[in-house]
Structure 1
């Protein structure tokens, strides 16, 4: 008797191309909402966070400080959890971080870019006074030493860490099957974690959307069929990168 072959539901064209989102859970859910709002049935999101935040409670160094530096919304959340008397002026890497800082009650200024843009803005700021850099345990670059070498008084404080997580079973199964999968990567660390977590027998054809050149470099060991670097390090530019991958002929 002839048995009809059942197709893999994750590969059916009418369900859209799978997009594997590996951001921490809250950020992943927010990006999925943006994906579905922009692309609708053209994409099918899968969520498998590769990191989960753990907040620390270090003693605050002696002040005074004229402002705080935030390079992530997670650092803002950690600052709120400290319940400390922090300066209201906040220098932020980008719009999302600045929005989180403003919502937390800070007078937030955005560099509208990456850490290098933030550093340039701090070097040219008219205000003086020592700065407090609230950061994660693992961060890209060395903003503190760069500022110190350029005569900016700054002290960093580690207020959270991102614990690595394994890929969830559904996502591992997705990667083991042939077919196109779009993989947005938002940080060098997430790229490195994914490279280690990817199944050795993966058969998926990956199209990587990298948030920056640094992320693309960190993802260099991940086998892929296409790579697009976002024009700016923000969610809207990442959506544009996903759009390019959706249209790429090299992505099945």
Structure 2
């Protein structure tokens, strides 16, 4: 049994971190202290948006900072993004859980008309380019930036203590940024949303590293639960 209080260090933007914590089982939140230190700040950017017939959203941030829906179709990645697009008035349809499955699905569907992928400045998966190569009229428009932030003093201080720290990492970029900025003596229990995220933080000294079975909230909640059980039994 761990003799130290366990910390859950959340590094998503503030709203996303709080939403994730709110979705955790009581057994998890009652067993650890939650510390939020966003590593990324989402900031809107101005963009010229040409006429288009349908949208692609790979993040709810694209929905929030993209154009008005006007009842147009939207092809979405993941449950949360699809839900956000539907609430914003798009004819939202989930077509994948990651870039690979989204590209495969849209290549098979071959939707007509001009399609815009509303994304962040920093993207992975080459969605628009790969769909263009598959014969679709797709372009990418960046409508937000993901600005890197340093770990807070409170987070750095906690990482220098001796109590276990669980750190779920929700993108390869944030995983790399964490690994470059964290100075740790605390036992680290790392959770990665994908193999790519895991690869970017695997070189940091850690007790455990769990990779989510799917790149979504439910799978990451399960990762945190498993890491907590490991930390409690250490």
Q: TM-score, normalised by structure 2?
A: 0.92
CA distance in 2: counterparts of 1:51 and 1:217, whole angstroms: 19
Per-residue CA shift, 1:149-182, capped at 9, x if unaligned? 2112101111100111111111111101123111
Q: 1:51 aligns with which of 31, 40, 58?
A: 40
Counterpart residue number, 2:49: 60
Q: 1:92/1:251 Cα in 2 relative to 1: closer, same or farther (>3 Å)?
A: farther
- For structure 1, the 5+ residue unaligned runs are 1-10
Q: Give the 3-state SS of the residue equivalent to 2:227 in structure 1.
A: helix
Counterpart residue number, 1:227: 209
- The question of 1:209 aligning with 2:196 is answered no
Per-residue CA shift, 1:112-135, capped at 9, x if unaligned? 411111111111115322210111
CA distance in 2: counterparts of 1:213 and 1:131, whole angstroms: 29
Report if the CA contact (8 A) 2:194-2:214 is conserved. Answer: yes
Write the mapping of 1:145-184 to structure 2, written as runs, cut at 5 A. Answer: 145-184=129-168
Counterpart residue number, 2:87: 103
Superposed displacement of residue 183, structure 1: 0.6
> Larger Cα Rg: Structure 1 or Structure 2?
1
Root-mean-square deviation over aligned CA pairs:
2.0
Higher RCO structure, 1 or 2 (CA under 8 Å, sep 6+): 2
- Number of aligned residue pairs: give it: 233
Q: TM-score, normalised by structure 1?
A: 0.86
